[in-house]
Amino acid sequence: MTTSFLSFGPNDLAAAMPEIVLAATGCLLVLLDAFAPSARRWLATLSLLAVAAATWLLVAAPRGTSFAGRYETSDLTVAAGLFAAATAAIAILVAKPYFQRTGGEKGEFYALLLWGHLGVSLMTRGLDLLVVFIGLETLSLSFYVLAAFFRGIQASSEAGLKYFLTGAFASAFTLYGIALLFGKAGSVRIAALARPELATDPLVSFALLLLIVGFGFKMSLAPFHAWAPDVYQGMPTPAVAYLSVAPKGASLLVLYRVLTAVFQAGMPGRFQTALVVLAILSMSLGNVVALAQRDIKRLLAYSGIAHMGYVTIALAVFGREALAAVIVYFFTYVVSNGGAFAAVSALYRDETKPHPVGLLAGEGRRTPFPSAVLALCLFSLAGIPATAGFIGKFFVFKAAIEQGLYALAIIGVVNSLVSIGYYLKIVYVLYMREPLDQERPPTLAPADRLALGLCAAGILALGVFPAGLWDLARRAAASLPFGR
């Protein structure tokens, strides 16, 4: 190794510009908030601009690796960057009206969101397990704070503490796994794992299992899911819109990268079995427990656990086509799940209280637009055709059938059927129950309207014209090093 980790040139800095922009804007936001209170109303706009600039820099950057092969710019990282940026944009758009309703808008919120976004970016671009880990921790620390954002509310403090304790525990698993891999491969680079003898090494298998636990925690994959409902409940809804999508996609991408590097000749049966078990557990547990939920944020948390089960099917299938399916899935998941949380943020007006589903009674007539978008998002999450969610499931199940994982596919669709039970329950409350009070609801903020409109348009556009997304995903998956 001729170059040490700290020596880098202008090309390397150019490649890291997206992250530099995010980090710098985050610092600027905190400073502005503290020293120029009159600039507060521009914080959201500034953060949106920062996300847009970072994404543009990422898309425009020349493809290749930098920092001596530790940092990647490829179709894959661009796809991941676009998906994460879409999530961030939804979160920032709904954040402003959210804080106008609840009070307590602070520069920290946007700064932490940007730093979290920076962490996601590092995770998706790192070709070195330490870079990935730094990204993971940047993300986690930002969101530990965001979970406890409403210091005065007990549920929020509880969410912060729970997320921090369990998250630190999960990070230890990840780090231990990385250490073991380092011990075996002699390097923390993912490329160094691509040695045939490592694929059969029991210690490497153990290390990979540790990584699955660590990143499975971030994905809220059962049985590492227990934090999600509590944290979603206490965290500001716009932050949940981000946390429930982008970090999960980044974590799955990291797992995909590491596993493809180690298992170049195909995934061993016992590993596939383990992932299949995790997928089935996550789908079934998520869907069945979601049936019993009364609080919409908890319900969506369990629905998210189930959805991570569906994407884990694609991880178990393995290979480039399945990775493309994962990418499609996450793009469809941004608009449906992000849209659902955006709608929840717009529909619930009192943040200090829990979010029971029953409070939405008759909202379909009182506030037609956000209710219609929420219903559309729920149909999409349920996988009804002509919505984005169907396309995501279509490719995942296609991958499973191609691999001959018929039983898994059948369990998957049975789970879809179960999930319809609770998604329709919300639609029923929205449209088929009488409103609780007759007073006129406040008008919807333009930013909310924009975010919801974009999500609805995205759900229908991806659901009806998915060909472009599939091509993008296939190109992205083709740029994954190693693998078939």
Partner 1 sequence: MRALFDGHLLTVLVFLPSAAAALLLLFPERRAREAKGFALAASVLELGLSLPLWTRFDLVSGTFQFVEKAEWIPALGISYTIGIDGISLLLVLLTTLLTPVSLLYSLTHVEKGVRAFSISFLVLETGVVGTLVALDLALFYVFWEVMLVPMYFIIGIWGGARRIYAAMKFFLFTMAGSLLMFLAILYLAVRNRAVTGEWSFLLSDLVSLTYPTMAIQTVLFAAFALAFAIKVPVFPLHTWLPDAHTEAPTAGSIILAGILLKLGVYGYLRFAMPLFPDAAIRYAPWLGVLGVIGVIYGAFVAYAQKDMKRLVAYSSVSHLGLVVIGIGAFTSAAMTGSVLQMINHGLSTGALFLLVGVLYERSHTREIADYGGIAGVVPVTTALFLVATFSSIGLPGLNGFVGEFLILLGTWTSNHRWWAVAAATGVIFSAIYMLSLVQRVFWNPLTREENRRLPEIRVSELVAAGVLVVLMVWIGVRPNDFLDRLRPSIEEVRRSVATRKVAAERPSRALRIRSGTGGVRRERSLRKARDSSPLRGSQ
Closest approach, Cβ 452 to partner 1, in A, equals 15
Binding of partner 1 by 106 (CB under 8 A): no
Give the binding range for partner 1 (CB under 8 A) out of 38-46, 255-263, 439-447, 468-476.
468-476
Q: Which residues of 445-473 are buried (b: 16+ CB within 10 A; e: fewer)?
A: bebbbebbebbbebbbebbeebeebbebb
Closer CB to partner 1, 206 or 428, in the complex: 428
Which residues pair with residue 126 across a beta bridge? Answer: 71
| Residue 390 to residues 232, 277, 287, 464, Cα–Cα distance (Å) | 25, 23, 17, 10
- If one counts every other C-beta atom within 10 angstroms of the C-beta of residue 394, the result is 18
- Sign of the dihedral defined by the CA atoms of residues 256, 262, 268, 271, in that order: negative
Q: Is 474 in the site for partner 1 (CB under 8 A)?
A: yes
Question: According to the binding rule CB under 8 A, does residue 475 interact with partner 1?
Answer: no
Tell me the chain's radius of gyration from C-alpha atoms. 21
350 lines the binding site for partner 1 (CB under 8 A): no
Per CB under 8 A, 432 contacts partner 1: yes
Q: How many residues bind partner 1 (CB under 8 A)?
A: 31
The end-to-end CA distance of the chain, in Å, is 28
Long-range CB pairs of 437-442, under 8 A, 24+ apart, other chains included: 441/349, 441/366, 441/367, 442/349
Query: Using the rule CB under 8 A, is 386 a contact of partner 1?
Result: yes
Place of tokens 């700290």: 6
d(C-alpha 328, C-alpha 462), whole Å: 9
Q: How far is the CB of 436 from partner 1 (least distance, A)?
A: 17
CB of 357 to partner 1, least distance (A): 14
**Nearer CB in complex with partner 1: 92/290:** 290
Task: Decide whether 226 or 478 has the Cβ nearer to partner 1.
Answer: 478
Q: Interface with partner 1 by CB under 8 A: which range of 253-261, 279-287, 312-320, 389-397?
A: 389-397
Region 401-420 residues binding partner 1, contact defined as CB under 8 A:
401-402, 406, 409-410, 413-414, 416-417, 420
Task: Considering the complex, state which of residue 261 and residue 473 has its C-beta at the smaller distance from partner 1.
Answer: 473
Give the residues lining the site for partner 1 (CB under 8 A). Answer: 365, 368, 379, 384-386, 390, 394, 397-398, 401-402, 406, 409-410, 413-414, 416-417, 420-421, 424, 427-428, 431-432, 466-467, 470-471, 474
